[in-house]
Structure 1
Amino acid sequence: MSKYTDSAKELLEHIGGSDNISVVTHCVTRMRFVLKDPKKADVEKIEAIKLVKGTFTQAGQFQVIIGNEVSSFYNEFVKIAGVSDTSKDEAKEAAKQNMNWLQRMIAHLADIFTPLIPALVVGGLILGFRNVIGEIPMLEGKTKTLVEVSQFWAGTNDFLWLIGEAIFHFLPVGITWAVARKMGATPILGIVLGITLVSPQLLNAYGVAGAEEVPVWDFGFATVEMIGYQAQVIPAILAGLLLSFLEIRLRKIIPNAISMIVVPFLALVPTVLLAHIVLGPIGWKIGSVISDVVYSGLTSSFGWLFAAIFGFAYAPLVITGLHHMTNAIDLQLMSELGGTNLWPMIALSNIAQGSAVLAMIYINRKNEQEKQVSIPAAISCYLGVTEPAMFGINLKYGFPFLAAMIGSLVAAVISVGSSVMANSIGVGGLPGILSIQAKYMGVFAIAMVVAIVIPFVLTVIFSKMNMGKVAFKRVRSN
């Protein structure tokens, strides 16, 4: 009998028993359940279990926050419940039975972009570092940059662009691979498709506007412009979806004996052709419209209002899973404008959530059990992982979550009002400043201070006002 046995038995009882579990798996800190009848789960009794730090429902999964012990607890729970081990992918697929059409669409979008995030974060840090050494005059009376006075830094700057270009200019390759992988098509065909969108044979997307003449493929009866789609998001998504659709359908109708030869050919060739004739131009236009609308909204005379709404509402969007849509918008802004003014607000929202937890650490400084949850949550939040902070502390008490939202609102208005731009998606916490374009780092640092101070102070004030969590729980249940 392990130290997790009693807690595992309690959780199994209050979640509705083994018969109510369709799928169960775990991540770094949470148990993830797909329940046959979510109403059978007694949330209050589950949250009363000593080992449980909190619960929430997201993307069709009932999630129970355990903490760093989740792996050992999961093994004990599975043994007691008599359910089989399940992969995360299987859990996600099963969870979709509890989703509406919008949630399903967002889940698919998340599955496409999530595998790309590590590369995008690295790329953002690299571009930020190149801006610091190549654009900020800090030597010889602040008239020259490091690159201008040092051959070492000049070489470093050129070398790092090799990685930055691979990540951002050739982003369509990653997207078409991710789409093919997600939809069940052959990933290598997705990679090949992506390469055909960014091939050096094509006119670079960044050079289209200034080109005197666009090269074409001449088929005698028709011509097709040889335009690349470097850094373009939507054309790559559309092309990847078409490839996947054709391949999956062709597999069903072509005999297995010739499938290996015929299916890749009949799926890839038409897709590449349609990508350059139809999907590419349409996707480029759609992407341009989206980026223009978002950028115009953030830079208009009412930009402060857009920023205030987004800064206040981003954390609730995380609860619903709708925040995954921002990845596509950020990438589209980067391809059109060379940066994104949306992502800095996301980083500030994460910082604000961490600061509210920091205040709770101060308020509960004599509670050792509480600190075991809140200290790791605050650290991970400041490093860009908000879920332990939001679901384990801020939503549990209610008023810290509200304080963080208010702090995020003010910080977002400062960021947008100062035209802050990030090079790319980065680490969504304190290290996020490294992804900010060099000339905006100073004002972004001020916004970061605001995102730290206001949530901290408001959380302490709300605590002294004895703001309970009952009202906020009512809001969550609606």
Structure 2
Amino acid sequence: MVDFKQDAKQLLEDIGGPENISAVTHCATRMRFVLNDPSKADNKKIEKIPAVKGTFTQAGQYQVIIGNEVATFYNEFEKISGKSGVSKDEVKQASKKNQNPLQRAMSVLAEVFSPIIPAIVVGGLILGFRNILEAIPMETLGQAMADGVPQVNAAGEPIYNTIVQVSQFWSGVNSFLWLIGEAIFHFLPVGITWSIAKKMGSTQILGIVLGITLVSPQLLNAYAVPGTAAADIPFWDFGFFQIDMIGYQAQVIPAMLAGFLLAYLELGLRKIIPQAISMIFVPLFALVPTVLIAHTVLGPIGWQIGDWISNLVYSGLTGSLSWLFGLLFGTFYAPLVITGLHHMTNAIDLQLVADFGGTNLWPMIALSNIAQGSAVVAIIFINRKNKEERDISIPAAISCYLGVTEPAMFGINIKYAYPFFAAMIGSGIAGLVASIFNVTANSIGVGGLPGILSIQNQYWGIFLICMVIAIVVPIVLTFAFSKNKRFQKMGIDDLPQPKLGS
């Protein structure tokens, strides 16, 4: 077992001593601090500690990358510092004092969507697989025949059976998988309202019930609303007023507005209703008004806001200047990650999926991750004789190609700066090509090389080309920049740093 005593002692000294630590915990690979004065942490000294693989500040937390042995390091640090760790949630709460209002808003978005992203990723993969079953022609299984003569379409091209048309087994698989896909996407509001209740500390089952009232089978399905005449929309008749019975399947913003209203109502009612009767009246007076307001005010408003946002983004992605949108988004997505603003893209992606059956935004995010990993690959070869560097860069590149960018971005690329810029350029070019050809994903997926599994099958060829661009360009530019003396002098201090508490 590695002895981290000296490294832990050095980290405590370089971070400003125990009096500078407001809270500390650790995750799978990183020590996570909330510092009373972040300026006292000496980045350069800390990054020279043998056990440390990089540092960065995000969401008001000063994070030190240790690696898989972080739990052992943390135990040693706890003994030396005398600081007992707290839970991750307590660290998040403490870190808010170092965040400005925008950072706090982005942090809330991240905490709402993080618990449901695994389900969304699975849903995207399932939709992609179903696309293959339903769309790919199976020439080897025979052409569609009519009286022994191959059928052709209006253009005179042969018509081929798809996989589900020629195989009862795969037809059954396709139908069965929709059970999961529908549960994930059509009933997404349930996950959102539950996650908000969990994040806000209100009653989670009430969040779940609220979500169900937005997607109940007795409501007109949201996907059927555009094709239904106003006179045919069902409604609740209260005599002197009526409420349309419209569902909000797959809608993000209506669910978020309703979820936060429920949480704030419940938390407020707890303060004014006596404890003896709170179990009865708090849920009643929180849930019933929220459901009513959700279907009369928040739902319609949220739907309209969602339409505006998705239409604006979709117009940018598919309009005459889509190439510019793709170039800019592809280039500057990585800097958004540094600030935490990238969390807003989850809601936009899901709204695009709900409104247009896919997202053009997420493919560029996957390409950005690939580009960052590719820049690290170049650093591996440039510093191939440096064993300590390899111990950091090789795992960082692998995790980045699998969609986890933090070790690569904060441990390598931002530290040297020029690989970060090389990756931005490569990502921008790949995003440009992806937007020109309207590359679309079924939904959010694994944000690296496996991301192609979430891409709609008709765009696989062009997305492969974009992946090649995101791999080759950052590698070539990183090598080129490494030969330039000006770039060699650059480092993390040359990058714009997000200011805490501003």
Query: With structure 1 as the length reference, what TM-score do the two structures score?
Result: 0.98
Q: For 1:147, which of 156, 164, 170 is the aligned residue?
A: 164
Aligned position for 2:327: 308
Aligned position for 1:262: 281
- How far apart, CA to CA, are the structure 1 residues paired with 2:15 and 2:214? 49
Aligned residues: 478
Residue 477 of structure 1 and its aligned partner are, at CA, apart by 4.2
Residue 366 of structure 1 and its aligned partner are, at CA, apart by 2.2
Aligned position for 2:413: 394
Kindly tell me: are residues 472 and 63 of structure 1, through their superposed partners in 2, closer, same or farther at Cα, counting changes over 3 Å? closer
- How far apart, CA to CA, are the structure 2 residues paired with 1:471 and 1:427? 30
Aligned position for 1:473: 493
- How far apart, CA to CA, are the structure 1 residues paired with 2:429 and 2:34? 37
Deviations 1:242-268 (A, max 9, x none): 111111111111111111011101110
Aligned position for 1:410: 429
Aligned position for 2:39: 39
Aligned position for 2:153: none
- How far apart, CA to CA, are the structure 2 residues paired with 1:468 and 1:64? 24
Q: Which range is displaced more, 467-476 or 350-359?
A: 467-476
Q: For 1:197, which of 214, 225, 229 is the aligned residue?
A: 214
Unaligned runs of 5+ in 1: none
Q: Is the 8 A contact 1:374 1:393 kept in 2?
A: yes
Residue 237 of structure 1 and its aligned partner are, at CA, apart by 0.4
Q: Is the 8 A contact 1:311 1:405 kept in 2?
A: yes
Counterparts of 1:228-247 in structure 2 under 5 Å? 228-247=247-266
Q: Is the 8 A contact 1:399 1:469 kept in 2?
A: no
Aligned position for 1:84: 84
- How far apart, CA to CA, are the structure 2 residues paired with 1:469 and 1:307? 31
Q: For 1:340, which of 349, 359, 362 is the aligned residue?
A: 359
Deviations 1:112-135 (A, max 9, x none): 001111000000011111111111
Q: Is the 8 A contact 1:180 1:240 kept in 2?
A: yes
Aligned position for 2:173: 156
- How far apart, CA to CA, are the structure 2 residues paired with 1:269 and 1:49? 57
- How far apart, CA to CA, are the structure 1 residues paired with 2:213 and 2:52? 50
Aligned position for 2:403: 384
Q: For 1:174, which of 159, 170, 191 is the aligned residue?
A: 191
- How far apart, CA to CA, are the structure 1 residues paired with 2:489 and 2:289? 57
Q: Is the 8 A contact 2:137 2:162 kept in 1?
A: yes
Aligned position for 1:130: 130
State, as a whole percentage, how many aligned pairs show the same letter. Answer: 69
Q: Give runs of ≥4 in structure 1 deviating > 4 Å.
A: none
Amino acid at match of 2:183: A
Aligned position for 1:14: 14
Query: With structure 2 as the length reference, what TM-score do the two structures score?
Result: 0.93
Aligned position for 2:227: 210
- SS at the partner of 2:24? strand
Deviations 1:129-160 (A, max 9, x none): 11111111133368221111000100000000
- SS at the partner of 1:470? coil
Q: For 2:293, which of 264, 274, 278 is the aligned residue?
A: 274
- How far apart, CA to CA, are the structure 1 residues paired with 2:492 and 2:329? 20
- How far apart, CA to CA, are the structure 1 residues paired with 2:85 and 2:109? 26
- How far apart, CA to CA, are the structure 2 residues paired with 1:274 and 1:185? 18
Q: Is the 8 A contact 2:194 2:208 kept in 1?
A: yes
Aligned position for 2:472: 453
Residue 78 of structure 1 and its aligned partner are, at CA, apart by 1.1
Amino acid at match of 1:54: G
Aligned position for 1:364: 383
Q: Is the 8 A contact 1:399 1:472 kept in 2?
A: no
Aligned position for 1:111: 111
RMSD, aligned α-carbons: 1.3
Deviations 1:198-225 (A, max 9, x none): 0000000000111130000001111100
Unaligned runs of 5+ in 2: 144-158
- SS at the partner of 2:62? strand
Q: Is the 8 A contact 2:215 2:249 kept in 1?
A: yes
Deviations 1:299-320 (A, max 9, x none): 1111111111111101111111
Aligned position for 2:341: 322
Aligned position for 2:152: none
- SS at the partner of 1:476? coil
Aligned position for 2:102: 102
Amino acid at match of 2:300: P
